Amino acid sequence: MFRHAILTISCLLAATAAQADTYPSRPITLVVPGPAGGTPDVVARMVADKLRTRLGQPVIVENKAGANGFIGSAAAAKAPADGYTLLMGFAQTMAVNPVTFKKLPYDPVKDFTAVARLVDFELALATPASVPAASLGELVSWLRAGRGKYSYGSFGAASPSQFAGDMFNRKAQLDMQHVPYKGSAPLVTDLVGGQVQFGFVVLQVAQQLAQGGKLKILAVTGARRQPAAPGVPTMTEAGYPDVNATGWYGLYAPQGTPAAVVNKLDEAVGQVMKDADVQRKLVEQGVNPAYAGHDALAAYTRSEIARWRDIVAQTGFSAQD
């Protein structure tokens, strides 16, 4: 019986190794649970293009947007665990959703195997160009002087953008009304138009409009200044260390994907992320190359869920059905 068990294990190991040797033998689908043209989509297509060269098969980006990332994430979770369907997961879908919704159609830890982290990024606190403030301190003074008259926007209810705004509103004692939008585009439109007085948006989006004189960037979240905007102070430097709504993107596979396949994908992603051209283009998109392997991403995902649970609790937000 012992000899039979050893033989069985040996056969399984040989089969797994053979699968890794032949993988991939057909195109891979990379699901992005967000719309085409957004920063996650741009990053996904950039990485997918380079992975094609590394893996010898096309990596096809498929956008499945809607419902705070529920639709795309759930679809990827239910896909066969064979390495031919991957998910572009991000802070919203993998860490924020689990602590802001009572029922999710997927579990970011139990339903997925981490493959590799790609990037991280900070949000920018942006205001309309018409707001008479050149610093965060001046903004706070101006908003307090008009207490009750102003509002702030976010790119979605129960999003990192909302919670950054909620924390700033609370810590600065501004007593402002939150206005949730369905995506960055409508938020930015109303920021430019002055319908809301500030919002936390992806840095790259804010920079494009700031360069055209339509927005001001007064601070960025996170512990360090951003290479793409070295002159912009952090929220910590400005006196608000608790406003630390950082984001990230990573690749995941359905739970049960063979370890040899995950390792092969991880190795390929690691090589892509070392590419100087890729790193330059990522920085241009307002995100920071932050490759980490599958074990590190798995641990990071769990730690991020805990971190966001604490952030959400501090805002007083109640989990939604």
Contact 171, 242 (CB under 8 A): yes
Mean of the pLDDT values across residues 206-226? 93
Mean of the pLDDT values across residues 202-228? 91
pLDDT at 296 exceeding the cut of 60: yes
- The pLDDT-based confidence of 17 (bands split at 50, 70, 90) is low
Main-chain dihedrals φ then ψ at residue 279, nearest 5 degrees: -60, -40
Residue 101 DSSP class: B
DSSP one-letter string for 180-235: E-SSHHHHHHHHHHTSSSEEEEEHHHHHHHHHTTSEEEEEE-SSS-BTTBTTSPBT
Indicate the helix (H) or strand (E) that contains 88: strand 85-90
- The pLDDT-based confidence of 11 (bands split at 50, 70, 90) is very low
Q: Which domains does the chain have, with CATH numbers?
A: 27-120+247-315 (3.40.190.150), 123-220 (3.40.190.10)
pLDDT of residue 183: 81
3-state secondary structure at position 23: coil
Q: How far apart are CA 258 and CA 113, in angstroms?
A: 10
At 172, list the tokens: 């600065």
pLDDT at 13 exceeding the cut of 60: no
73-82, 203-212, 236-245: which has the highest mean pLDDT? 73-82
- Per residue in 114-144, pLDDT (tens digit) is 999 999 988 999 999 999 999 999 999 999 9
Q: How far apart are CA 166 and CA 177, in angstroms?
A: 9
Based on the number of CB atoms within 10 Å of its own CB, is 30 exposed (0-12), middle (13-18) or buried (19 or more)?
buried
